[in-house]
Amino acid sequence: MTAFPAVLINKTDDAQDVAYTEITDADLMEGDVTVRVSHSTVNYKDGLAITGKAPVVRRFPMVPGIDFAGEVDESTHLDWKPGDKVILNGWGVGETHLGGYAAKARVPGDWLVPLPDGLSAAQAMAVGTAGYTAMLCVLAIEGAGVTPDKGPVVVTGAAGGVGSVAIAILAKLGYPVVASTGRQSEHDYLRDLGATEIIDRAELSEKGRPLGKERWAGGIDAVGSHTLANVLAQTHYGGAVACCGLAQGMDLPATVAPFILRGISLLGVDSVMVPKPKRIAAWQRIVTDLDRDKLDAMTTTVSLKDAIQTAETILAGGVRGRTVVEVG
């Protein structure tokens, strides 16, 4: 059986060990479709999985990589045949099911969506789970009535993956965008993506008042904790905030004041278990609403071996935009 490259996480007595190695088809898990993986990405959750800083991995050994793009190699699933180009995000891949950091992955065909026309596999993974989640957040606030004429949208964790893609999409749709970042060095980058105003994340990251001056019509928050509480407290009457991340913390030290006095909606966004029609719709919107030059500008590409180091960097808040992993 031919061996192929993979990153493998193994559990040791009191820690875990991560290695760039080789596995074979016999190591793959159950599934009716085998995919030749060409690209994966480094998301925040991959950082947690590879470093072991949170108990993301639930099965050992584990191939990390919560998303991938590639071509169907073998299939007994009615929807897929060899040569079909596919994307996978979530469903526990890289957590409970072997993931995208290997040249092959075997998964249930129901988890796959077609690579949309107009995106290459590399571009789809430049978007990756972070960018697809950013799109889900935009769809959430749009659905709650936050349209560009209502006023600005604040994006927290702006220079990260979710934040960068959210800014580019919102700008293309005509929203004024307030970018909240802790990195002074990335102000020009954020303006180039389409931010119309930049604020220091320190303005939002400490305990604030239950209600503040109304500054934005909506928000996309990848940070949680006091930041999300302050975003809610400074949202216009009737506005909506999509919450998808916890880069500052998992807590939400807020009061009910924004909800009961300003009618603000807090919209939870999960990307892992989203039903297939909504996934396909989100990817279609990415095709039309994300400027490709901006996607290129926010993307760095690394080898499979170097993805291990990038996992450390992303948790330290040191990755700008998105990181594609060249796998196959």
Q: In angstroms, what is the minimal distance from the CB of 172 to ligand NDP? A: 19
| Bridge-based pairing state of the strands 33-41 and 322-326 | antiparallel
> Footprint of ligand NDP on residues 112-131 (CB under 6 A)?
129-130
Q: Which residue is nearest to ligand NDP (CB)?
A: 160
Rule CB under 6 A: say whether 229 interacts with ligand NDP: no
Q: Which is nearer to ligand NDP, 141 or 319 (CB)?
A: 319
Contact present, 131 and 290 (Cβ < 8 Å): yes
Contact present, 231 and 209 (Cβ < 8 Å): no
Q: In angstroms, what is the minimal distance from the CB of 202 to ligand NDP? A: 9
Q: Nearest-CA neighbor of 179 among 247, 166, 67?
A: 166
- With contacts defined by CB under 6 A, name the span among 29-37, 97-105, 157-165, 191-199 that binds ligand NDP: 157-165
Q: Which is nearer to ligand NDP, 28 or 88 (CB)?
A: 88
Alpha carbons 249 and 245: distance in angstroms, whole number: 8
Q: Which is nearer to ligand NDP, 28 or 153 (CB)?
A: 153
Number of residues that bind ligand NDP (CB under 6 A): 33
If one counts every other C-beta atom within 10 angstroms of the C-beta of residue 250, the result is: 9
Choose, by CB under 6 A, the member of 205, 234, 235, 299 that binds ligand NDP: 205
What residue spans of the chain are helical by DSSP H? 44-51, 121-143, 161-173, 187-193, 202-205, 225-233, 257-262, 276-289, 292-297, 307-315
Alpha carbons 166 and 180: distance in angstroms, whole number: 12
Choose, by CB under 6 A, the member of 50, 314, 324, 325 that binds ligand NDP: 314
Choose, by CB under 6 A, the member of 121, 193, 228, 246 that binds ligand NDP: 246
Q: Which residue has the tokens 């970042």?
A: 181
Q: Nearest-CA neighbor of 63 among 25, 32, 15, 13?
A: 25
> Footprint of ligand NDP on residues 21-50 (CB under 6 A)?
43-45
Rule CB under 6 A: say whether 270 interacts with ligand NDP: yes
Contact present, 156 and 235 (Cβ < 8 Å): no
Q: Which residue has the tokens 């880069």?
A: 247
End-to-end CA distance of the chain: 17
Choose, by CB under 6 A, the member of 70, 160, 194, 328 that binds ligand NDP: 160
Q: In angstroms, what is the minimal distance from the CB of 129 to ligand NDP? A: 5
Alpha carbons 38 and 59: distance in angstroms, whole number: 24
- With contacts defined by CB under 6 A, name the span among 72-80, 97-105, 112-120, 219-227 that binds ligand NDP: 219-227
Q: In angstroms, what is the minimal distance from the CB of 253 to ligand NDP? A: 14
Handedness of CA 186, 188, 189, 191 (dihedral sign): positive
User: Going residue by residue from 66 to 105, which x/- string records binding to ligand NDP, judged by CB under 6 A?
Assistant: ----------------------------------------
- With contacts defined by CB under 6 A, name the span among 12-20, 179-187, 278-286, 291-299 that binds ligand NDP: 179-187
Name the site residues for ligand NDP (rule: CB under 6 A). 43-45, 129-130, 133, 157-163, 181-183, 201, 205, 222-223, 227, 244-248, 269-272, 314, 317, 319
